[in-house]
Structure 1
Amino acid sequence: MMVRAAILISLLSAVPVSAQADGPLARVDGQAITNSDVEVATRLLGDIDQKDAQANQQGVIDALIELKVVARAALAEGLDNDPAFKAEMQFLRERALRALYLRKAIERNVTEETIRAAYDRQVGGLKPIPEVRLRHILVANQMDAMHIIDGVKHGQRSFETEASKSLDEVTKSNGGDLGFLTEDQIPTEFAAAIKNAKPGEVIATPVQSAFGFHVVKLEARRTRPVPTLEQATPQIRHALESAAGVEVVTSLKSRASIEILNGGPSPSAPESGTE
């Protein structure tokens, strides 16, 4: 705890003076705790509950007060010269440098232009995709299926109510809804049955599969549009950033002289995250 406290205090002390120009939120032996300190601590601690902003801020302030008190005690005992402290500080320093280097390298490689180019390659040539939304009720035999079809078609019972008796445990609780499906996702047995059906229509003939007999309803048809550049950008950016991070690390390792002295396997490229 004392080592972690001293580390966090030293990190907070590294925040530029201009960033600490905000008013004090608390003082410990005359040393101010500011909004900037709280922002840095929140980012570094990472496990603070974000639901209640005021309670969250007070929790961070309380943690900083404790950290400052314990860190001062650690410094008074000279623990900043302890080998364990220096080793941990060296690790944190290298980790921070790694994160900053990768972040800057990724920013250079992943630009609006590269995102646009990736979109044009991967998405721009796609065509709108037809989809259908289906509901079904699975029963054991054809007679039961026909009984349901007749009842639904003549308004004696609703499809959703009958679906609650379905043998399909996954969809029985949501009215038999299979959601929107593309052509290659539609069960083979259903494809021919719904080919000429209209939205809202219950197929007149039960559809047999290896699981039993299905009462099928075509709920809707639609065409899924091709994602716009704006819609696709977050996913493309994430993929490009991940690839760029791996490429940077792989390139650096290929140029470094690396010796594995314990007989273990060669180190693999680390994850590309910058934190």
Structure 2
Amino acid sequence: MTMKVRAAILISLLTVVPVRAEDGSPLARVDGDAITASDVEVATRLLGDIDQKDAQANQQGVIDALIELKVVSKAALAEGLDDDPAFRAEMQFLKERALRALYLRKAIERNVTDDAIRTAYDRQVGGLKPVPEVRIRHILVATRMDAMHIIDGVKHGQRAFETEAQKSLDEVTKSNGGDLGFLAEDQIPVEFATAIANARIGDVIAAPVQTPFGYHVLKLESRRSRPVPTLDQATPKIRHALESAAGVEAVSVLKAKASIEVLNARPSPSAAESDTD
């Protein structure tokens, strides 16, 4: 994002967000008006896409954008543009949007606590057991004869399985030796599961497996049990899910309490079509 675009975003957003000017010493001044660390913090949060790899460079970029913001907004005020009806309408919208974001953020903070995350973990994850997984390599060919030729060559040591995989019709896995990665048993085709049921690690299955896609030469690479995620591992996903649910619930409760009228609403395309039938 260019600095001019960043400044444009700041002009539309920072004007409706209160800034705590007392937080820290001024980082810059424009006609005597201070730009503080708090200003930079708010701007960074609202701009969202700023790369955090180089914090110091990013801070200077935000300060530059804030300087441009103040210079341009002062010029706009001097011309009385703050009285423009379009500006006032946009500011009202931005104010309501900022208030909505703040309200939902506080609602989420009240509901998504460490205890809530722990409870959700115990309910959703705590009772799970380790999941058996298998790692399979496969080579997909068009005919049974092609499959048997590959199996014979690999079993007799004439060719490596990974080399033969380059002949596979599966464009996704042919370049990595036919590796399908680790899959839970319920994620693999029933035909595969049956074929490898009694196989040992490293076995190339003696008979090709037929599916609607063709004939598969299979090799059992390894087995493992995928452990149940710990609370720390599961927390980010649980937190995200709880935050989404808390936001939706907060809005639903407020809408249920409000008196809402939708006036002069246009009918949906499906409704309009049904009226003409």
TM-score range, shorter chain: 0.7 to 0.9
Distance 1:9 1:111 in 2: 29
Deviates more, 1:30-39 or 1:238-247: 30-39
Among 256, 259, 262, the alignment partner of 2:261 is 259
* Corresponding residue of 1:167: 169
Alpha carbons of structure 1 residues 205 and 223: separation in structure 2 relative to 1, 3 Å: same
Query: What does 1:77-92 align with in structure 2 at a 5 Å threshold?
Result: 77-92=79-94
Normalising to structure 1: TM-score of the pair?
Answer: 0.85
Among 68, 81, 90, the alignment partner of 2:70 is 68
Among 15, 21, 25, the alignment partner of 1:22 is 25
Distance 2:120 2:155 in 1: 50
Alpha carbons of structure 1 residues 4 and 145: separation in structure 2 relative to 1, 3 Å: closer
Q: How big is the shift at 1:49?
A: 4.3
Deviates more, 1:81-90 or 1:45-54: 45-54
Distance 1:106 1:57 in 2: 28
Specify every segment of 5 or more residues in structure 1 that has no aligned partner in the other structure, as ranges.
Answer: 267-275
Distance 2:80 2:71 in 1: 15
Alpha carbons of structure 1 residues 52 and 143: separation in structure 2 relative to 1, 3 Å: same
**Which amino acid in the other structure matches residue 121 of structure 1?**
R
Alpha carbons of structure 1 residues 7 and 202: separation in structure 2 relative to 1, 3 Å: closer
Q: How big is the shift at 1:4?
A: 6.7
* Corresponding residue of 1:133: 135
Number of equivalent positions = 263
**Which amino acid in the other structure matches residue 179 of structure 1?**
G
Other structure's SS at 1:184 match? helix
Alpha carbons of structure 1 residues 144 and 3: separation in structure 2 relative to 1, 3 Å: closer
Contact kept, 8 Å, 1:201 with 1:218, in 2: the verdict is yes
Specify every segment of 5 or more residues in structure 2 that has no aligned partner in the other structure, as ranges.
Answer: 269-277
RMSD over aligned Cα, in angstroms? 2.5
Q: How big is the shift at 1:7?
A: 4.9
* Corresponding residue of 1:269: none
**Which amino acid in the other structure matches residue 69 of structure 2?**
L
Q: How big is the shift at 1:9?
A: 6.0
| Displaced runs of 4 or more, over 6 A | 1-5
Deviates more, 1:49-58 or 1:168-177: 49-58
Alpha carbons of structure 1 residues 5 and 44: separation in structure 2 relative to 1, 3 Å: closer
Distance 2:251 2:79 in 1: 40
Query: What does 1:111-126 align with in structure 2 at a 5 Å threshold?
Result: 111-126=113-128
Offset from partner CA, 1:41-62 (integer Å, 9 cap, x none): 2222334444544443333233
Q: How big is the shift at 1:246?
A: 1.1
Distance 2:9 2:129 in 1: 55
Query: What does 1:3-18 align with in structure 2 at a 5 Å threshold?
Result: 7=12, 10-11=15-16, 14-18=18-22
Deviates more, 1:29-38 or 1:220-229: 29-38
Offset from partner CA, 1:200-220 (integer Å, 9 cap, x none): 111122222232221100011
Alpha carbons of structure 1 residues 195 and 124: separation in structure 2 relative to 1, 3 Å: same
Alpha carbons of structure 1 residues 117 and 48: separation in structure 2 relative to 1, 3 Å: closer
Contact kept, 8 Å, 1:5 with 1:70, in 2: the verdict is no
Q: How big is the shift at 1:38?
A: 2.5
Q: How big is the shift at 1:253?
A: 0.8
Q: How big is the shift at 1:3?
A: 8.8
**Which amino acid in the other structure matches residue 170 of structure 1?**
V
Distance 1:236 1:249 in 2: 20
Distance 1:155 1:22 in 2: 74
Q: In the alignment, is residue 154 of structure 1 matched against residue 156 of structure 2?
A: yes
Offset from partner CA, 1:114-150 (integer Å, 9 cap, x none): 2222222211111211110100011222232222222
Contact kept, 8 Å, 2:21 with 2:36, in 1: the verdict is no
